[in-house]
Amino acid sequence: MTPRGRGLLITTGKWSSAALVAALIATLAVVALTPHHHKVELVVTWSNTTPASVWRLLTQHSGEPRWLPVFASVERQPDDHGRQVWTYHDPAGSFSATMLTILAVPERRYERLLLREGQPRNQPWDGRWVFDIEAKEHGTRMRITEYGWTGGFKFFIVQRILGSPHTFLEYYARQMGRALGDPSQIQVLRTH
């Protein structure tokens, strides 16, 4: 660990300052070139659960903290032109998200949208979720489609570089299966 060439190149262990700068530039290039918009599609099948049971679990938001521990509480807000609005809070109290139901066709289709009021459009994520439900033999098949946007450097790195946009949806589907007492069979159709 000695200076070389009048201090222009300093080595620390195996990395030189030039290598660290090159790694930083490469990381920034990956972040800049990775699309911020994504579409995720999953198909989840429960072999012994009716569409009515899936619908109840999917739409009874006040009960979600019992089976979805990433949220500590869910609060009902005043409706927006007859559409339900719910705010979710994490256990640490450092994160909240407000969701608007934009379409509810019982036991068939459910759509939700993240409300961005009071927050910059690009921090840190945005999305719309569509749940299509159908009976399948003695069970239920549900297609979940997420149209999302990931921004904010930290959130972007965690979700798009270190992880995948479908990670939370898979977690959500597995937790639904646990709550239903019927293991979720998950197929990821598309992630980009």
User: What pLDDT, on a 0 to 100 scale, did the predictor assign at position 3?
Assistant: 47
Domains of the chain: 36-191 (3.30.530.20)
Tally of residues, the chain: 192
- Angle at which helix 167-180 crosses helix 51-59, to 10 degrees, equals 120
Look at the pTM and tell me if it is higher than 0.85: no
Average pLDDT for runs of 10 along the chain of length 192? 46 67 63 65 97 98 96 95 94 88 97 73 69 96 88 56 74 97 94 66
Strand arrangement of the beta sheet that strand 9-12 belongs to: 3-4, 9-12, 15-16
DSSP-derived pairing of the beta strands 185-191 and 37-46: antiparallel
